[in-house]
Structure 1
Amino acid sequence: MASKPDRITGFVLVVAAVAAVAGILFGFDTGVISGAILFINEDFSLTSATTEVAVSSVLMGAIIGALFGGPLSDRVGRRSSILSAAAIFLVGTVVVVLSPIFSIFIIGRILIGIAIGVASFVAPLYISEIAPENIRGALVSLNQLLITIGILIAYGVNYYFAAEGAWRAMFLAGLIPGTVLLVGMFLMPRSPRWLMFMNRPGDAEKVLRKIRGTPDVSDELGEIEKSMRTEGAGTWSDLFAPGVRLPLLLGVGLAVLQQATGINTVIYYAPTIFQFAGLAEATASIAATVGIGIVNVLVTLVAIWLVDRAGRRPLLLGSLAGMGIAMLLLGIGFAFEGGGGGAAVSLGQVTAVSLIIYVAAFALGLGPIFWLIISEIYPLSVRGLAMSLATVTNWAANFIIAATFLSLVDLIGESGVFLLYALIAALAWLFVFKLVPETKGLSLEQIEAYFRSRGRVGEETRPRNM
């Protein structure tokens, strides 16, 4: 039987699903803080500045994890890196739950951040390297689906414990997905492309045979080997080689824009935003946030169905347009806030509609496709390093947005902040329209060859199918 890299087997679906559980860790911790912070503020008597520290401390850890996760994933492998992340997540969660003082709480949050900083890009990297090319977009996007499910689970946990203000119990629930990931990944194979990278072709062939369901994987092995011969082993300086510059620009640019358009302001501070809009009770604002979490999950399912049909570019462009319109609507709503009881109800409705549109648009494109794109566009020789750099940039931008949101609100008001995010969404649309190519239906090696052949930025907008 001829080697077929697009062959779909049940085992490859299981491997992708288990690795995608890393997304639950990412999503759960992202979502749980939004409700827990309302009660952490009371227990630790936090100010606006220390509240921002409590929210953003996990991002400090994520930057560290993403920075060292790239070299780690190249040295010990994708699977071992995910296992390490799961173990660190469990330790950090226990520290947070048992923290007697605010400083210990911050240490636990940083440990959790290190774990999700590693897992946030190694999981989609691992999935992209085992996935058949014809459903690679859908399988890598499973990670984003699990992120949204993790956020929704966190919102549900927050709502369940909100009446008692039991924020420690909210965090404790994170032990369940952390344990599932640790046990599940222990049973999964290593990435065949990483095995080839480590000069273990025999082991790579065994894994490929199992995940492709065929005894003959010579064509795919040959394509991987040819790619490795062309590029050689990669270093940090190789990120600036001619064939990598454009992918580097795309990855770093999308990393910044994904966060600068304000998504994690919405995720981290959704209950706070609803309180700005007039929902004073913590339980009510958390309940409103659950609806946003449901929309996030449902639209991500639509994105998974569309990504290998409609392609990456159309979804990205439509996503950014919707996000910009939603932020514009939200900014106008706050600008015309009247301050009375009726106005508060009206503003609450505008806020709910705007946030639903915004999250739906994000989930349709920019949410899953950023992680998909950066798992596709880099050469194998520098894939771990390049994804590490893009992820560090993403978490750094996330940190800046989360750490400055309340301060920006104090400085330019709610309306000013949301209008600023609308402007950034417009700039992001132009960036994608001009620079991001379509990678649907191409193997990782074909995408690599396309970028190697590019003479200059902007020469083409789509790789050729080879």
Structure 2
Amino acid sequence: MTDTATISHTSRHRRFIWKVSLIAGLGGILYGFDMGIIAAALIYVRETFSLSTRMEEWVVSIVLVGAMIGALVGGSIADRIGRRSTLLWGGAIFLVGSLLAPASQNPATLICARALLGLAIGFTSVTAPVYVSELAPPRSRGTLIGLYQFALTLGIAFADLAGYLLSSHHAWRLMFGIGAVPALLFVVLLLALPESPRWLFSQNRATEAQAILLSYTDEAGAQVLVEDIRTALNTKVEKRWSALWSPAVRGSLLIAVGFTVLQQVTGINTIIYYGPQIFSLAGITSDKNAIFATLLVAIINVLATIIALVLVDKVGRKPLLYAGVSGMTASLFLLSYSFHNPSAFSAAPGAVATVCLMVYITCFAFSMGPIAWILVSEVFPLQLRGRGVAAATLGSGASNFLVSLTFLSLIKAAGNSVTFIIYGIFCILTLLFVRFIVPETKGRALESISSTTTAVAS
């Protein structure tokens, strides 16, 4: 196997890769915005439409149903029509959903709009990391794919900022409508990007692929990539969903789906979707103050993701996961204890909850947040990469849907303390999964990673 780390990094090459990564990252901003905006908007949507608890959960969670469908369909589409074309379709659907949501005159229309947004999330979350991974050199691939997660955290922070600024006017329609601006920008900028050369080679369009490679690297670098891609394509893999369960790919599937499911069941999106409600449970009675506390958590999320971008290709994936998930575990158990025994702390319960959630989100942001999508984009063989990432995204969406749909009901049935203990137990299971299942992929060529995951499931 030729070491693609030897590809020369001209200034032209670096500029091109960063441009692609940043534009693809706009899909992450859209994802994050549509995830985050519901936290503030839900307070006022509930008032406008007099929603029950169950209907609130559906308004939040229906986006995840759309995301699962989008992931399932998007993976096949990305393998069939290309990465760039699939991203364009995702951007167009984002735009339609962002315009329909603020125009909603009843809960049913709003639910339909959010389902469309979920479909777009499924398309882009499957395709954007794959697109970047197929263009990025091994020694900086983790950082460049991690930009998607960084953009996602920025989207959440923008959503929380918009929610805070508009909360005094109860302007939930404008909160949703703002999302149309980055959606339009995403579509326009994508038109200037090329298709993935790896995908073009898989479609027997070698001339087009080589032309794209030569547009951002020299002939020697292009030849190195061509040799690696041809080696990968010479490994016969059936392009069917059932092939994901074949002995050659089963290990990759276990790593990708298992880790993305654990990413969700450790409770991250209860904070993203229901942050103001959690702070209200902790004693912050003002809606605006609860939204502001959620904004602070989102800002910490953005800043901590930078840690991952700086370190993931230097110290590796697994050391960051060990540190981050351990911190998540400790903060969840402390939060649970603060709900169980509020008098145990000299600070007010709201302050304790804020600190715990800030520690939790910091640890998540430099570990599980970006590394899940880095791993998912790395472990599958080229011929099945779109479907493999789709399967992982589907697992993520299904578990996210389950957590978000049951959170308020679980709080009512089991209480605040027990609910967060449950998420803490899942963090412990994640540490075991990282220790025994997840491989270290730092600095390795994509083709070598997918060829060594077979032993995981054997």
Q: Is the 8 A contact 2:98 2:178 kept in 1?
A: no
Higher mean C-alpha displacement, 406-415 vs 311-320? 311-320
Higher mean C-alpha displacement, 213-222 vs 130-139? 213-222
Aligned partner of 1:374 in structure 2 is 376
Query: Where do 5+ consecutive residues of structure 2 fail to align?
Result: none
The equivalent position to 2:127 in structure 1, one of 122, 130, 133, is: 122
AA aligned opposite 1:194 = W
The equivalent position to 1:305 in structure 2, one of 310, 315, 321, is: 310
Aligned partner of 1:255 in structure 2 is 260
Aligned partner of 2:416 in structure 1 is 414
The equivalent position to 1:63 in structure 2, one of 68, 72, 78, is: 68
AA aligned opposite 2:262 = L
> Secondary structure in 1 aligned to 2:443?
coil
What's the CA shift for 1:306? 0.3
AA aligned opposite 1:359 = I
> Residues 194-233 of structure 1 correspond to what in structure 2 (within 5 A)?
194-214=199-219, 217-233=222-238
Aligned partner of 1:462 in structure 2 is none
AA aligned opposite 2:376 = I
Q: Deviations over 1:316-368 (max 9, x none)?
A: 12111111111001000000135xxx989611111001000000000011000
Does residue 447 (structure 1) correspond to residue 449 (structure 2)? The answer is yes
Aligned-CA RMSD value: 1.6
Aligned partner of 2:274 in structure 1 is 269
What's the CA shift for 1:449? 2.3
**Matches of 1:429 and 1:6 in 2, distance apart?**
37
Q: Deviations over 1:266-297 (max 9, x none)?
A: 11111110011111111110111111111101
**Matches of 1:63 and 1:17 in 2, distance apart?**
25
> Secondary structure in 1 aligned to 2:256?
helix
Q: Is the 8 A contact 1:66 1:114 kept in 2?
A: yes
Q: Deviations over 1:104-140 (max 9, x none)?
A: 1110000000001111121011000011111000000
> Secondary structure in 2 aligned to 1:440?
coil
TM-score, length-scaled by structure 1: 0.94
AA aligned opposite 2:181 = I
What's the CA shift for 1:233? 4.3
Aligned partner of 1:152 in structure 2 is 157
> Secondary structure in 1 aligned to 2:124?
helix
What's the CA shift for 1:6? 5.8
Aligned partner of 1:461 in structure 2 is none
Q: Deviations over 1:132-172 (max 9, x none)?
A: 11100000000000000000000110011000100000011
What's the CA shift for 1:457? 4.0
What's the CA shift for 1:209? 1.4
AA aligned opposite 2:285 = A
Does residue 296 (structure 1) correspond to residue 265 (structure 2)? The answer is no
**Matches of 1:219 and 1:423 in 2, distance apart?**
45
User: How much identity, in percent, do the aligned residues show?
Assistant: 40
**Matches of 1:336 and 1:6 in 2, distance apart?**
59
AA aligned opposite 1:420 = I
**Matches of 1:253 and 1:125 in 2, distance apart?**
18
Aligned partner of 2:352 in structure 1 is 350
AA aligned opposite 1:276 = L
Aligned partner of 1:398 in structure 2 is 400
> Secondary structure in 2 aligned to 1:243?
coil
Change (3 A) 1:233 1:190: farther
What's the CA shift for 1:451? 2.6
> Secondary structure in 2 aligned to 1:33?
helix
AA aligned opposite 1:318 = A
Does residue 113 (structure 1) correspond to residue 115 (structure 2)? The answer is no
What's the CA shift for 1:203? 0.8
**Matches of 2:372 and 2:221 in 1, distance apart?**
33
> Residues 332-343 of structure 1 correspond to what in structure 2 (within 5 A)?
332-337=337-342
Aligned partner of 1:53 in structure 2 is 58
What's the CA shift for 1:315? 0.9
AA aligned opposite 1:140 = I
Q: Is the 8 A contact 1:56 1:402 kept in 2?
A: yes
AA aligned opposite 1:205 = Q
Q: Is the 8 A contact 1:277 1:344 kept in 2?
A: no
**Matches of 1:31 and 1:230 in 2, distance apart?**
42
The equivalent position to 2:98 in structure 1, one of 90, 93, 102, is: 93
Aligned partner of 1:463 in structure 2 is none
Query: Where do 5+ consecutive residues of structure 1 fail to align?
Result: 459-466
Q: Deviations over 1:32-89 (max 9, x none)?
A: 0001001000000011111001110111111110110110100111100110000001
Q: Is the 8 A contact 2:150 2:306 kept in 1?
A: yes
**Matches of 1:68 and 1:213 in 2, distance apart?**
36
Q: Is the 8 A contact 2:254 2:457 kept in 1?
A: no
**Matches of 2:211 and 2:94 in 1, distance apart?**
31
Change (3 A) 1:9 1:343: closer
AA aligned opposite 1:42 = E
Does residue 316 (structure 1) correspond to residue 318 (structure 2)? The answer is no
Aligned partner of 1:364 in structure 2 is 366
Higher mean C-alpha displacement, 375-384 vs 207-216? 207-216
AA aligned opposite 1:353 = V
Aligned partner of 2:426 in structure 1 is 424
> Secondary structure in 2 aligned to 1:295?
helix
**Matches of 1:205 and 1:457 in 2, distance apart?**
36
